Structure 1
Amino acid sequence: MAYGNLETLYRQVIMDHYKNPRNKGLKGDDSFYTVHIKKPTCGDDLTIQIKVEDGRITEIYQDGVGCSISMSSASVMSETVKGMKIEDVLKIIDNYVHMVKGEPFDENLDMGDAIVYQGVSQFPQRFKCATIAWNALSKAIEKYLNSPYHKDEE
C-alpha cells in the first residue's frame, strides 16, 4: 500500500474512534481501578477505569474531553488491551510510548490499531495527547498491583 493510502487509512481509524468511541462511559462501581488525568495546558481531561480478574483486564472504560488524538487514542487503547494479561498490557504500553516518541520499538508486538499513532512522532507537541490514556492506564494498573486484592491472587 502506498504511503499516502496508509496515511489516509490511519486518519480514518483515528476519526472513527474519535466520532464513535469504544468503551465510553464510567461505571459507579468500587471494584474498578479508576484514574483521572487532566492536562490544563491543552484541555485534555480523561478518566480510565479497569476491572482486573485473574491478572487480566476484563473490563475497561474511558470517558473525557479533548482533541481527536487524545480521545481516539483512549478508545483504541481500550479495545487493544481488553481481555489481556497485565504483563502483556505493560509491554504494549511501553512499546506504544517508544513508538510515538519516534524511538525504536518492537514492530512484531501486536498493538492492534494503536499502530496508527506512529506518525505522532513527527509532531512532538502531540505526544502528550497520544499518551494521556496510556499513562492513565499505567497508573490504574499500578493501583491494581499495589492493592491487597492483587496480593490475594498471587
Structure 2
Amino acid sequence: MSAAENDLYQEVVMDHKRAPRNFGHLPAPNHQARGTNPQCGDDLSVELDVQAGQVRDIRFSGQGCAICIASASMMGEAVKGHDVEAAQQLQQHFRAVLTGEIEPEEAQLGKLVSLAGVRRYPSRIKCALLGWHALMHALAQAPDASPAAADATPPGNTP
C-alpha cells in the first residue's frame, strides 16, 4: 500500500468512526441481527427495512473499534436503496478482498475499496466484517422472526 493509499484509508476510517452514517435505530425494522466479537469487544446490531426485495433503509448501533464502525457505516451507505441480491454480492466481494481471494481492483467495491488495506492485518479482518455478517444474518431472517434468533457472531468467536 502506497503512502497515499494508507493516508486515504486512515482518513476514511476516521471520518466514518467520528461521524458514522446510518447509526441508530429504525422505528419499525422488519429484519435485524446482532454480531459480536468477544475477542475484542465489538458488538453491533443491524436493523433493516426490506420491502419488495430492496433494502429501503438500514441502521446499525453498538460499539466497536474504528475499523468495525467505519466498515458498518460504509456498508450502510453502500446497500441502502439497493436490491437484497446486490447487497449479498457486495458482501461476498468485500469479504473476498479482505481475505485475499480477489484483488481490490477486481471487486468493484466503490468507496469500500479504501478498507482493502485491512487485509494486511489478519486480526482486524473480523472487525471489518462484523457488520457485514450481521447484515447477511438479518437478510436471511424471516421478517417476523425474533431478533435473538439472528446472532451473527463470526465463526471461531465463541466465548
Q: TM-score range by the shorter chain?
A: 0.7 to 0.9
Aligned to 1:103: 101
Q: Which residues in structure 2 correspond to 1:117-128 (within 5 Å)?
A: 117-128=115-126
In the TM superposition, residue 35 of structure 1 has moved relative to its aligned partner by: 0.5
In the TM superposition, residue 48 of structure 1 has moved relative to its aligned partner by: 0.3
Aligned to 2:15: 16
After alignment, is 97-106 or 14-23 more displaced? 97-106
1:138 is the counterpart of 2:136: yes
Cα-Cα RMSD: 1.8
> Is residue 101–residue 120 contact of structure 1 (8 Å, CA) maintained in 2?
no
1:61 is the counterpart of 2:56: no
> Is residue 48–residue 63 contact of structure 1 (8 Å, CA) maintained in 2?
yes
TM-score, normalisation: structure 1: 0.86
Matches of 1:128 and 1:119 in 2, distance apart? 13
Aligned to 1:91: 89
Question: Secondary structure in 2 aligned to 1:107?
Answer: helix
> Is residue 36–residue 136 contact of structure 1 (8 Å, CA) maintained in 2?
yes
Matches of 1:76 and 1:100 in 2, distance apart? 15
Aligned to 1:27: 26
In the TM superposition, residue 110 of structure 1 has moved relative to its aligned partner by: 3.4
TM-score, normalisation: structure 2: 0.84
Q: Which amino acid aligns with 2:10?
A: R
Q: Provide structure 2 residue ranges, at least 5 long, that are not aligned to the other structure.
A: 145-159
Matches of 1:114 and 1:105 in 2, distance apart? 13
In the TM superposition, residue 28 of structure 1 has moved relative to its aligned partner by: 4.2
Higher helix share: 1
User: Percent of pairs identical after alignment?
Assistant: 33
> Is residue 57–residue 80 contact of structure 2 (8 Å, CA) maintained in 1?
yes
Q: Which amino acid aligns with 1:53?
A: Q
Of 77, 80, 93 in structure 2, the residue corresponding to residue 79 of structure 1 is 77
